[in-house]
Structure 1
Amino acid sequence: MTADDQVDMARSQVFGEVAEAYDAARPGYADQLVTDVLAYAAPGGRPVVEVGAGTGKATLAFAARGVRMVCLEPDERMAAVLRRNTAGHPGVAVRTGGFEDWRPGGRRFGLLLAATSWHWVDPARRWDLAHAALAPGGALALVWNPQGVRDPQVHAALAESDRRLGITGAPHARRAWEFADVPGDWPGWPEAECRRDGRFTDLRPVRYRQEVHYDTDRYLTYLSTLSGYRVLPPALRSEVLAATARTLRRYGDALTMTLCTDVLLARAR
């Protein structure tokens, strides 16, 4: 594992500091996505394994369809919220720990789901682990939520505020009209890596769009749950959030974004 990979793994553990805020502010997933993923995977009687389930933003949408799930979450604080949220779904089993350390005990799964979490899995091992967890013909669904600001003036003002403070990679750094119809127009899209692996077939990239409205307080809460903000020194993080708030309050005290939920579907050979 490289030094960069170790840094990424350390950053993956910061969400538990703000587990309740994460649960309240992070966007969820559309019903149509769940319908399409289950239609593609057709897991039948086989359970679903979810990698990096967090507080259950995707879990609940799938559990509501009656699928049995094993949910892996490395942070105990996040897992505690996940257990609370899924208490009404007896088919959901929560396991505290990372995908890299999990032992499926000989079980093979019909679907492996990773919703905004695949990039945290050790890149040297993730495809091996995924293939080993899936039954032959089992499906992989890797999901992300890139966003873009709809108003050019608001985008420009937020970009200038971030530039002054040295902030990069914020959700509002993208403009809504930059996103095309086909997913993968952002760093880290795993389609090429999956193709190179060679053990998966029938790759299908899918993009869903919806408009999301944040008031200033909710957007600041959302930003405070992102790893890039969590690892900032506390004084700088407070300054950045305050500057973002001042900008938004000049433009109606709210922010409208286009949320592009991108999914890579693939099937184990």
Structure 2
Amino acid sequence: MNGPEQVDMARARVFGEVAVVYDAARPGYSDALVSDVLDYAAPGGGWALEVGAGTGKATVPFAERGTRLVCVEPDPRMAEVLRRNTARFPGVRVHVGGFEEWQPGGRRFGLLLAAASWHWVDPERRWDLACAALAPGGAVALFWNPQGVRDPGVHAALAEVDARHGMTGTPHGAPASAYGDAAGDWAGLPGWPEDECRRDGRFADVRGVRHREDRYYGTERYLGYLASLSRYRVLSPGVRERVLADTGRVLDAHGGGIAMEQFSDLFLARVG
């Protein structure tokens, strides 16, 4: 995904259809990003809250660092994989349900994190829900991992495929050169939460951090990655098959894969 998408609840609930593929194909998060979050939040031995934990792409690296987590995941199929992936961590608790319906039950957390999921939370309520869940001084850490295509020729060929099938906002939708230098500069795409958070007025010490890393996908893995994305899941099976087949032919014609630059963008803020 090239940054957050607009809230569409039909799309927000399609990931469970391919939970295992999602877990295998989706990129994870760097150790440096995890360190940034923990250094900022300094949760100590307290519990953190993860919103939209999915299959645990972010949960596992935080749990490996000793963070105890309550994970809220709306899709039971994703939660099943999440439980398997975190079974070795006694400090991980999984709650199946939406963040909008979840109740903290008097608990207050020192850290709320959301990995490529905050944009699925109701925009009218998400900052209220965060404040209700956080202790005074608690931190919000929201992060995404948009990507850009390194080879202009590959990008141009894939753009032709996307245009032919009416696809927009795909992970290969922008060249790496189109991204700016700052966190949240997503080649002109909206969704970075800073303005919304500042308008809320209850948060301070707002920061943005960007990490970059090269990533290469072979054709099969990249097609699996695409197949796990909501914009592909909502296509009819026949259309999805044609789009992925055409995409695969482009990658095979360019060496059997795609080289990307991943921008791990982290938003941090602290509730008063």
What is the TM-score normalised by the length of structure 2? 0.96
Superposed, which structure 2 residues align to 1:194-205 within 5 Å?
194-205=197-208
Q: Is residue 211 of structure 1 aligned with residue 218 of structure 2?
A: no
**Could you tell me how far apart the structure 2 residues matched to 1:92 and 1:57 are?**
14
Match of 1:88 in 2: 88
- 3-state SS in 2 of match to 1:260: strand
**Could you tell me how far apart the structure 1 residues matched to 2:123 and 2:166 are?**
28
**Could you tell me how far apart the structure 2 residues matched to 1:31 and 1:17 are?**
29
How far apart are residue 113 of structure 1 and its match? 0.3
Amino acid at match of 1:117: S
Amino acid at match of 2:267: L
**Quick check: 193-202 or 36-45, which moved more?**
36-45
**Could you tell me how far apart the structure 1 residues matched to 2:169 and 2:35 are?**
31
How far apart are residue 43 of structure 1 and its match? 1.3
**Could you tell me how far apart the structure 2 residues matched to 1:165 and 1:110 are?**
45
Match of 1:39 in 2: 39
Count of aligned pairs: 265
How far apart are residue 219 of structure 1 and its match? 0.2
The alignment's C-alpha RMSD in Å is: 1.1
Match of 2:243 in 1: 240
- 3-state SS in 2 of match to 1:203: strand
- 3-state SS in 1 of match to 2:70: strand
**Quick check: 243-252 or 181-190, which moved more?**
181-190
**Could you tell me how far apart the structure 2 residues matched to 1:63 and 1:213 are?**
26
How far apart are residue 16 of structure 1 and its match? 0.3
Q: Percent identity?
A: 67
Match of 2:183 in 1: 183
Match of 1:29 in 2: 29
**Could you tell me how far apart the structure 2 residues matched to 1:262 and 1:217 are?**
26
Amino acid at match of 1:243: D
Q: Is residue 263 of structure 1 aligned with residue 262 of structure 2?
A: no
**Could you tell me how far apart the structure 1 residues matched to 2:32 and 2:162 are?**
34
**Could you tell me how far apart the structure 1 residues matched to 2:157 and 2:104 are?**
49
Match of 1:250 in 2: 253
Match of 2:65 in 1: 65
**Could you tell me how far apart the structure 2 residues matched to 1:179 and 1:169 are?**
14
Larger relative contact order (C-alpha < 8 A, sep ≥ 6)? 2
**Could you tell me how far apart the structure 1 residues matched to 2:69 and 2:166 are?**
41
Match of 2:149 in 1: 149
Q: Deviations over 1:126-170 (max 9, x none)?
A: 000001100000000001111000000000000011111111111
- 3-state SS in 2 of match to 1:100: coil
How far apart are residue 178 of structure 1 and its match? 1.3
**Could you tell me how far apart the structure 1 residues matched to 2:201 and 2:128 are?**
11
**Could you tell me how far apart the structure 2 residues matched to 1:103 and 1:161 are?**
44
- 3-state SS in 2 of match to 1:32: helix
Amino acid at match of 2:18: V
Q: Structure 2: which 5+ runs fail to align?
A: none
- 3-state SS in 2 of match to 1:62: helix
What is the TM-score normalised by the length of structure 1? 0.97
Normalized per residue, the structure richer in helix is: 1
**Could you tell me how far apart the structure 1 residues matched to 2:49 and 2:221 are?**
30
**Could you tell me how far apart the structure 2 residues matched to 1:83 and 1:253 are?**
34
**Could you tell me how far apart the structure 1 residues matched to 2:135 and 2:44 are?**
12
**Could you tell me how far apart the structure 1 residues matched to 2:265 and 2:35 are?**
15
**Could you tell me how far apart the structure 2 residues matched to 1:78 and 1:160 are?**
33
**Could you tell me how far apart the structure 2 residues matched to 1:249 and 1:45 are?**
48
Q: Structure 1: which 5+ runs fail to align?
A: none
Match of 1:109 in 2: 109
